[in-house]
Structure 1
Amino acid sequence: MMEKLKEVLERNKEEYIKYLSELIAIDTQDLGHGIAGGREKEGQDYLIRLLEKMGADEIEQDPMTEETIAASIEKYKEGNPGHNYEGRYNVYGVFKGQKSKSLMFNGHMDTMPPGDESLWISSPHTPRIEDGKLYGLGAADMKGGLMASVMAVKLLKDAGIPIPLDVHICSVCDEEGGGNGAIQAVMRGKRADGVVVCEPTSRELILAHMGFVFMKVKIAGKSNHSGAKWLGVSAIEKAAKIMERLNELEHRWLLTYKHPLLPAPNLNVGTIHGGSAGSTVAGDCEFEMCIHYLPGQMSHDQVVSEVTDEIRRFAESDLWLREHMPEISIYQAGGPFEMEGGPFVDSFKRAFEHAEGEPVVIKGSPAGCDSRLWRNIAGCPTIQFGPGNLEQCHSINEYIPIEDYLKTIHIYAQLILEWGKEDEADE
């Protein structure tokens, strides 16, 4: 059967590449991290037509709603409020199998904006094949993984091999806005006996990723002419001292927490804005940071508390800040993910080895994604594996190796067959 799949894959590879190219050609970018909206509709419409063409037994459109995200924030502290959902919806497709057991492939339709298009060798939405690579916005992140999951079903159909279980295709929007699309799917009750999040993983099996919290700190100073600097209070200088204290907190985390698959927790200040002119003492300053933390050993509440306490302790020791406390807010967050092992992980290992002839490498990822939602909220056995690599995500001249895409189609097809063999009582 494995040889038959390889033969059919080789015979039909141009068709499978064509479908991915057509999806890349559609602009589905997230706007302002979802706050300003998103252009996923045309891509989701394309996917619906493809699922219909392939004979999907069920196809559902699920329009995004603010109420669903608000409920998730209240119950699970997962979600990002205030996004524009006009014309944005998830797509769920189901191919019925011979038994009621299920496997879900989760992917996101949205991409990040292309950035400075003049830096691209060709238009971000003009797919281009060169040196065995398919270039285009979203090729790796993550239209390649999403389409590979759909093509895995098509490969089995093209090979005349019955699908042994129910295969769910879950195409979500607004992932780049913090995962709201998958949050909605989970809150709508979507579940499966095993979930594959098809993010690019450099052909490695990801069984853990870090949690993340984005925080903003605003500091008030006292502005005046810099010639009499001593009469003012520089908010920029106060911010620099706060950041120094936060670096000390990060160092304590480094010495305290270890994980076999993940790097140490870290705190990155990514933006800083303050002042109005070189000749004026800065009367205001704000900076934004992202904290990545470990599963199992740390929590959202702990991280927020430690960062907040560190800032406030410093402020209490400063005569000015004691009376003008920094304002601290959270503007995006997501939990960590960890899959301990079990029958589903073992099935994937066997599927990979059948397809590739060697064991899969197991690692963790520093970047958060939808895996946390399917594992932590939905309670589904979840793994993360897909074509492409993390370095291509959010990058100029994004690409996916064509061989990687095709091999992933085969691996996914093997997983469908392998997981279909498992006794339902095992999971």
Structure 2
Amino acid sequence: MRELRTVLNERKEEYLTYLKELIEIDTHDIGHGIEGGLEKEGQEYIIRLFEKMNADSIEKDYLTEQKVQECMKIHHEGNPGHNYEERYNVYATFHGEGGKSILFNGHMDTMPPGDLGQWNRPPHQAVLEEGKLYGLGSADMKAGLMAAILSVKLLQDAGYKLPGDVMITSVCDEEGGGNGSIVAAMNKKTADGVVVCEGTSDEVILAHMGFVFFKVQIKGKANHSGAKWLGVSAIEKAMKIIRELEEVEHSWLLKYKHPLLPAPNLNVGVIQGGTAGSTVAGECTFETCVHYLPQVMSYEQVVMEFTEAVERAAEGDLWLREHRPVIDVYQAGGAFEMEQESSFVKVFGTAYQAVEKRKMKVAGSPAGCDSRIWKNIAGCPTIQFGPGNLEQCHSPNEYVEMEAFWSAVLIYAELILTWGNQE
């Protein structure tokens, strides 16, 4: 067995080529996954790489509406109605010698490039400049996915036997809300520990907020504004409801705290109503996103308190009492928290310190990711750590710092060895 950093330095050009080639494959979601996604060519690429690495098993798992609906019914998680044509997860397993198993999770899909005029280089051209590898998907999250794959290859190239099984899951439709990992978890893909390889700016994410999207539809009575008193403005009724919801948000701000996360909040992000300035609005719809805390709050609680607030506003209004607003939940994702005293977290800290010669930094994230799925649905000890800065995600001229990428390869490899040898 050879020293891992020495072997990594010898093979950097080869390993870098794999990452570049993956970045240069266009795998973007279409319409946030609702209209489909182009992950197939990227998945085929890593299947070939897994075959080259002599993976013990390689599995394609096609996304289906049935699994998404099943998860929504049981866990309030899922994004229905997406186009799943030619969209499948890839799972590769490398068998170990009976020690603790580990699963690395990454998503193949990226966001679309957006306005090409804002890119200094073609988005699907991997360009290395001054220690940064530019290209769409570099930080979010092909570098994390490839670092996991190469951590296994590094151990192979250095002559190590894996102490425990290692599974790598490359999933689709994460940018559409997480359907790929949902399908994987519903199909019982589990391990003794899970690493979600999203970019974390050299921090270990142990908590993120949950989210619930609501749509509220209000009916009014339209007529010419010159005789406004004969109509009922749905916009004004919506404002009453929104003010009541603001009181709910205020109570949350006073009541709930978390050491790693901001306070819960309720954002009215879309409002649509009326047809003209001279017409009393006959209808109005607004959409909100509630971000809530793990442990102390729940999906059921958020839905209940939101609904009660809308009902209170309606009950106190003569028109709304007889013309009740309609509430729909159209997307939701659970909150995530991993206990800092978990043995998996502690072992990760040991692996991190062995590579970086300093203690890991623990943080939380206001944005959700697939960590919640592996912890809450699959029931696995889960952490989030990967190369890439959060501010690079969904941004023109996206890049990953190569030092962070190489460090992730080494940290993942150390983690496989350290975790697999735990009693």
Measured against the shorter chain, the TM-score band is over 0.9
1:171 positional shift: 0.7
2:213 and 2:287 in contact (8 A); partners too: yes
Question: What is the alpha-carbon root mean square deviation over aligned residues?
Answer: 1.6
User: Which residue in the other structure is 1:68 paired with?
Assistant: 67
1:10 partnered with 2:9:
yes
Point out the more displaced range, 235-244 or 259-268: 235-244
1:370 positional shift: 1.3
Point out the more displaced range, 384-393 or 346-355: 384-393
Task: Indicate the SS of the match to 1:149.
Answer: helix
User: Which residue in the other structure is 1:145 paired with?
Assistant: 144
Task: Indicate the SS of the match to 1:191.
Answer: coil
1:228 positional shift: 3.5
1:284 positional shift: 2.0
Instruction: Determine the C-alpha separation between the residues in 2 that align with 1:372 and 1:321.
Output: 37
2:99 and 2:422 in contact (8 A); partners too: no
Task: Indicate the SS of the match to 2:70.
Answer: helix
Cα 1:130–1:219, aligned 2, differ >3 Å: closer, same or farther?
Answer: farther
AA matched with 1:93: A
User: Which residue in the other structure is 2:377 paired with?
Assistant: 377
Instruction: Determine the C-alpha separation between the residues in 2 that align with 1:110 and 1:243.
Output: 36
User: Which residue in the other structure is 1:416 paired with?
Assistant: 416
1:50 partnered with 2:45:
no
Instruction: Determine the C-alpha separation between the residues in 2 that align with 1:138 and 1:346.
Output: 30
Instruction: Determine the C-alpha separation between the residues in 2 that align with 1:226 and 1:143.
Output: 55
Instruction: Determine the C-alpha separation between the residues in 1 that align with 2:113 and 2:323.
Output: 40
Matches within 5 A, 1:43-192: 43-192=42-191
User: Which residue in the other structure is 2:242 paired with?
Assistant: 243
Cα 1:115–1:240, aligned 2, differ >3 Å: closer, same or farther?
Answer: farther
User: Which residue in the other structure is 1:346 paired with?
Assistant: 346
1:21 positional shift: 1.7
User: Which residue in the other structure is 1:294 paired with?
Assistant: 293
1:200 partnered with 2:199:
yes
Instruction: Determine the C-alpha separation between the residues in 1 that align with 2:326 and 2:124.
Output: 41
Cα 1:168–1:270, aligned 2, differ >3 Å: closer, same or farther?
Answer: same
Task: Indicate the SS of the match to 1:216.
Answer: strand
1:229 partnered with 2:228:
yes
1:232-280 C-alpha deviation (Å, 9 max, x unpaired): 3332232233222222211110100011111111111222222223333
Point out the more displaced range, 163-172 or 220-229: 220-229
User: Which residue in the other structure is 2:356 paired with?
Assistant: 356
Instruction: Determine the C-alpha separation between the residues in 2 that align with 1:238 and 1:204.
Output: 45
Task: Indicate the SS of the match to 2:3.
Answer: helix
Task: Provide structure 1 residue ranges, at least 5 long, that are not aligned to the other structure.
Answer: none
1:100 positional shift: 4.8
1:346-401 C-alpha deviation (Å, 9 max, x unpaired): 11000000000000011111111111121112211111111112222222222211
Cα 1:397–1:217, aligned 2, differ >3 Å: closer, same or farther?
Answer: farther
2:100 and 2:422 in contact (8 A); partners too: no
AA matched with 2:59: E
AA matched with 2:398: E
Point out the more displaced range, 372-381 or 83-92: 372-381
Instruction: Determine the C-alpha separation between the residues in 1 that align with 2:99 and 2:321.
Output: 62
2:100 and 2:421 in contact (8 A); partners too: no
Task: Provide structure 2 residue ranges, at least 5 long, that are not aligned to the other structure.
Answer: none
Matches within 5 A, 1:312-331: 312-331=311-330
Instruction: Determine the C-alpha separation between the residues in 1 that align with 2:148 and 2:163.
Output: 16
Instruction: Determine the C-alpha separation between the residues in 2 that align with 1:167 and 1:420.
Output: 9
AA matched with 1:342: S
User: Which residue in the other structure is 2:34 paired with?
Assistant: 35
Q: How does the TM-score come out when normalised to structure 2?
A: 0.95
1:400 partnered with 2:400:
yes
AA matched with 2:4: L
